[in-house]
């Protein structure tokens, strides 16, 4: 594993996009965040960690706070080599599609008739339209799911959800599964629209994710609030 100076790692991890940094000022200027960054920097120095360091804040780099229309919450990044790209449920193009993402595509076929991609799991086009694809934990040790959950990332990402509520703007929250649904307690803005379904994993998709019309409901809400709907179609040539 290539050695990276810990100071350099910390500099990258502290480089939160400016508008998010301003919105999260109370949290990111505190000791708790500083402790988190120290812990994560140490892991990047000693372990193989995903996503790549420059992709940790990918979701925040693509979508600025004022442009968020929809939030989808995942648990932690994919832990196999070449998968994680910093966006929840998303993988790099050409990577084998994880089962949960396959089921997301199946639901889109059910709702809109979109052909199911075979090779493209990169959800960047969603993010570019205002979908914040936010994992609760932003890093993971290679091949060890949830290994970085104890580091404290959830406090950082919880602060993002809380901060979005202060914007007082219509935002759709797609909360898939019990873990994501617990985050509804952080959403205090009455103009938010919360859609709860089962998780798209093979273990639970048949218990309320499939045929939920969650994507149609999202776009219906956006249209009702004079916001452009999300084009959720992903193709193998995106």
Closest CA to 163 of 26, 63, 35: 26
Report the alpha-carbon distance of residue 103 to residue 212 in Å, rounded.
12
The residues that bridge with 70 in the sheet, in sequence order, are 131, 172
76 has catalytic annotation = yes
SS3 assignment, position 67:
helix
Q: Which of 34, 76, 122, 158 is catalytic?
A: 76
Cβ pair 174, 209 in contact under 8 A: no
Report the alpha-carbon distance of residue 22 to residue 60 in Å, rounded.
12
Residues acting as catalytic residues:
76
């Amino acid at each position: 594993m290539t050695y990276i100076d810990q100071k350099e790692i910390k500099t990258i991890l502290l480089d939160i996009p400016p508008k998010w940094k301003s919105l999260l000022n109370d949290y990111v200027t505190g000791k708790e965040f500083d402790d988190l960054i120290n812990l994560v920097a140490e892991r990047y120095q000693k372990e193989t960690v995903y996503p790549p360091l420059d992709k940790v804040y990918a979701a925040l780099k693509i979508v600025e706070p004022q442009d968020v229309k929809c939030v989808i919450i995942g648990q932690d990044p994919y832990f196999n080599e070449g998968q994680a790209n910093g966006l929840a449920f998303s993988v790099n193009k050409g990577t084998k599609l994880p089962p949960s993402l396959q089921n997301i595509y199946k639901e889109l076929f059910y709702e809109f008739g979109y052909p199911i991609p075979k090779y493209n799991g990169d959800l960047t086009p969603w993010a570019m339209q205002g979908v914040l694809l936010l994992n609760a934990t932003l890093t993971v040790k290679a091949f060890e799911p949830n290994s970085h959950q104890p580091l404290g990332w959830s406090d950082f990402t919880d602060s993002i959800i809380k901060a979005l509520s202060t914007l007082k703007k219509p935002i759709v929250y797609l909360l898939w599964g019990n873990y994501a649904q617990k985050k509804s307690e952080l959403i205090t803005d009455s103009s938010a629209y919360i859609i709860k379904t089962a998780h798209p994993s093979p273990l639970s998709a048949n218990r309320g994710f499939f045929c939920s019309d969650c994507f149609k409901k999202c776009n219906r809400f956006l249209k009702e609030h004079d916001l452009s709907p999300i084009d959720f179609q992903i193709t193998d040539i995106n």
